[in-house]
Chains A and B, each alone.
Chain A
Amino acid sequence: MTDVELMQLLRMAREAEEFGSGGVPMALPTQRRPVGRADPYRIFGWASAGLAVAAALTAAVILLRTDAVRSDSGTMVAGGVDPSQNRPSDNGVVVRDPATGFGRASGAGLTALVTADVKSTGSALPELRDSIIVAMYKGSDGTTRCVRVKSHEWDCGRGIEDLSEGELIGFAFESACDSVLEEGPESLVVLAMSGPKGSWSKETTTAEAITACLESSPEVCGSEASCYADVARHCLPAGVTVRAETMEVR
């Protein structure tokens, strides 16, 4: 079996896992372009691609220079954990306060990321973490109408810190509560929580606990993602990173 065949099998195994858990596999063998004679469009395409590569190379050189300046000034790695790589940075200190560390709060409908007590493991490999996504659909009275939960393994060391804006909402809609969507929920709150391996006993138990904790909190979060992340953090064990996104449905 060649390397390529092995890689293909591994990818398919991952996709089968996603498929079984209700996710959306994304990489079955794709439809290949039929081999044909060169046509003017193709020649134009190659020429465009060439120009694009040249432009990308120029941009990369400029960005590399910018990155070098940033790293020197220390704004990319705050200490303790390098969020861009989901692995401990070299100095290995403990980051405590999410608000002053790389925790990031944002306004309504945006994303909030809060990290509690993340500690360097000093391992040669990026730390293996278990992640779980909880989507809560709320009605006009603020009560939670439906909760969806799924455990999620992020791509190859990628962490919830690396998610782009809106990506969590996308996850939530992949397994949306159809009946509640038809009713027209008021808002959607999605929490992604990532902790050291074995942090979560059972998906449903965790989801129930988080939902109960948020519901019982005296704080009224409305559509403020940072508020949900902050409240959830207090319900979770140390070392868990929380990311929240909210969306007004109507």
Chain B
Amino acid sequence: MAVGEQQQPEGTRLRRATDAHEQPPPDLADQHARLTPGLKRMFGARVTGGEDLADDLAQRTWMNVWRAVSAGKFDPTRAAFSTFVYAVATNVWRQYLRDSTREKNRDLAAAAGEGLRASNPTGLKPVAEAGDEAAALAEVLDALRKTMSGGDGAFSEDERWVLRCVADGASDRELAKRLGISASTANDRKQGVFRKLRAFLGAMGQS
């Protein structure tokens, strides 16, 4: 990449990359319009770099989504499209965190007189790798969504309630308070549900 391009703000570079990329297939256009505001809000709530950075991350997500869909990585029978986009967004966010950390380390290394290492400026992974990762994550997340809502009947209502509480971040003490039992009993109950969940995920090939 030329030096001039490297000095461009990240947003400009990504916008150009998006413009250059082929238009989304018609059936994705609706999804794009529906999910983009949520993506921007999601990233906006996490970044300190302002609206532009949130926009860039949302664009980066869609670029990865389109690449993965074009490469046939999204299978609608395995996960909902919104879950797939969420999974891609999760990967994009993690990649952004990794890149930020790497850049900080690079600055520190540069300050200490060490050589610079090349980084990946767009944060894009090879399509096959990124798409497979997101598809697998989306499948697991969708299975968990169904489990918590009782759609698959694999868990009892009580077990689903515990799972939802844990998903909401409830601690053992909070579970205990809501159930009117001791924290250790609540933990036992949670561990029982976790054992079942592990077996459930194991059957899906996730361990």
Contacts and interface: CB of A to CB of B under 8 A. Distances in A.
A55 interface: no
Nearest to B148: A13
B141 A11 contact: no
A26 B45 contact: yes
Interface in A1-30: 1, 3, 6-7, 9-17, 19-20, 22-30
A1 B201 contact: yes
Contacts of A31: 46-48, 97, 100
Contacts of B163: 10
A85 interface: yes
B178 A24 contact: no
B179 A12 contact: no
A227 B45 CA distance: 35
A126 B145 CA distance: 20
Interface of B: 34-35, 37-39, 41-42, 45-48, 80, 82-83, 85-87, 89-90, 93-94, 97, 100-101, 104, 137-138, 140-142, 144-145, 148, 157-158, 161, 163-170, 174, 178-180, 194, 197-198, 201, 206-207
A174 interface: yes
A13 B82 contact: no
B168 A28 contact: no
A208 B198 CA distance: 42
Contacts of A10: 144, 148, 163, 166-167
B165 A19 contact: no
Give the 9 A-B CB pairs with smallest separation, nearest first.
A20-B82, A13-B144, A10-B167, A156-B165, A156-B168, A16-B86, A14-B167, A155-B168, A13-B141
A46 to B, nearest CB: 22
Nearest to A17: B145
Interface of A: 1, 3, 6-7, 9-17, 19-20, 22-32, 34, 85, 87, 124-126, 128, 153, 155-157, 174
A23 B194 contact: no
Contact of A6 (B164, B165, B194): B194
B86 A125 contact: no
Given A9-B141, A17-B145, A85-B178, A24 B164 contact: no
Contact of A19 (B38, B46, B164, B170): B38
B78 to A, nearest CB: 14
A9 B83 CA distance: 13
B108 to A, nearest CB: 9
Contacts of A128: 157, 161
Contact of B170 (A26, A34, A156): A156
A1 B207 contact: yes
Nearest to B37: A22
Contacts of A16: 82-83, 86-87, 138, 141-142, 145
10 contacts: A6-B194, A6-B197, A12-B141, A16-B138, A19-B39, A19-B89, A20-B80, A24-B41, A31-B100, A153-B164
A29 B47 CA distance: 12
A9 B89 CA distance: 15
Contacts of A17: 145
B206 A25 contact: no
B198 A12 contact: no
Given A11-B168, A29-B90, A124-B179, 6 more contacts: A13-B144, A14-B148, A22-B38, A153-B164, A156-B165, A156-B170
A125 B161 contact: yes
A178 to B, nearest CB: 9
B159 to A, nearest CB: 11
